[in-house]
Amino acid sequence: MELTGGPRARLDVSGGTSGGVVVQLTGELDLASLPDVAGPLAELLTRRPQPLVLELGDLTFLDSSGVSLLVRIANHFDQVRTRSATEPVRRVIEVLGLADRFGLDEA
Amino acid sequence: MPSQAFPAWPDSIPAARRYVSEAMDQLPAGTGQTAALLISELATNAVRHGGHEFVVDVHTFPDEGRLWIGVTDSDTGLPVLRTPAVTAEHGRGLQLVSTLADSWGARRRKNTAEKTVWFELRYAPLDLPG
């Protein structure tokens, strides 16, 4: 999705059906859009460590600055699984050797 | 060959991606995707370390199936390739460049306060009309 004139990225948190947390990322995640998600990220990182699902179906671009955010989330929460990553996003995670860390093929 | 200067602030990172994508609209989709990612990494480094502006140069050689992109800024410190742990939050930009580019490098220009970090991508040469 194209976000123009406003925030370029969004981070939404919801409860999972079987407990745990679902984090949905939308838009393009790079150094320029990290401030767009800083508020919800700070709130997310105050939650107790628990299983977490990253829902990345609407994340169209991710570079190493965006990966640093995913690593922060993975470091804080117990188990992370990644769902429906788009092809460019999946490729970045795989190339960096983070597929296991982010549970890329387990969701 | 296309060349454009960008102010060294974060909004220039997506702008540089768009610029590169528009400069090479005839390339295979996978090559374009990789180029967008790698320009994002080099622009990010320029914004974080490189002074008040950076210049993006795009050279395409469709008959050879070769794309060269360089980012020039006014910081003479050369980039360092690192291998971060899975829990490390930073240090992965050049790892992507070195893994996905067919070749890459950095050079300083003598008697100037400039450096260029560049990468090259190869793809199947296009059948161009004419």
Nearest by Cα to B82 from B91, B73, B90: B91
Chain A residues touching residue B95 (CB < 8 angstroms): 64, 96
Mutant choice from B9, B17, B34, B37 vs A, greatest count of A C-beta within 10 A: B37
d(CA A33, CA A8): 6
Q: Does residue A106 carry a pLDDT above 50?
A: yes
Q: How many domains does chain A have?
A: 1
**Inside any domain, residue A31:** yes
CB of B106 less than 8 A from some CB of A: no
Contact, A49 vs A21, CB < 8 A? no
In a domain, A27, yes or no: yes
List of chain A residues whose C-beta atoms are within 8 Å of the C-beta of residue B6? none
How far is residue B30's CA from residue B9's CA, in Å, rounded to a whole number?
Answer: 28
Quick: pLDDT tens for B68-127: 999 999 987 888 888 888 888 888 999 999 999 999 999 998 888 899 999 999 998 866
Contacts of B7 in chain A (CB under 8 A): none
CB A28 within 8 A of CB A9: yes
On the question of pLDDT at A2 being above 60, the answer is no
Put simply, whether B30 touches A (Cβ < 8 Å) is no
Residue B37 binned pLDDT confidence (cut-offs 50, 70, 90): very high
Asked whether residue A40 is domain-assigned, the answer is yes
Residue A6 falls inside a structural domain: no
Residue A28, domain member (yes or no): yes
Q: What is the CATH number of the domain that holds A34?
A: 3.30.750.24
Closest-CA distance of chain B to residue A23, Å: 19
d(CA B33, CA B31): 5
Task: Kindly identify which residue of chain A lies nearest to residue B89, measuring between CA atoms.
Answer: A68
Per-residue 3-state assignment (H helix, E strand, C coil) for chain B: CCEEEEECCCCHHHHHHHHHHHHCCCCCHHHHHHHHHHHHHHHHHHHHHCCCEEEEEEEEECCCCEEEEEEEECCCCCCCCCCCCCCCCCCCHHHHHHHHCCEEEEEECCCCCCEEEEEEEECCCCCCCC
pLDDT at B16 over 70: yes
SS3 B8: coil
Contacts of B13 in chain A (CB under 8 A): 30-32
pTM given for the model: 0.92
Counted across chains A and B, CB pairs separated by less than 8 A come out at 64
- 3-state SS, one letter per residue, for A2-36: CCCCCCCEEEEEEECECECEEEEEEEEECCCCHHH
Domain of residue A73, residue span: 22-95
Residue of B nearest to A5 (CA): B11
A14 belongs to a structural domain: no
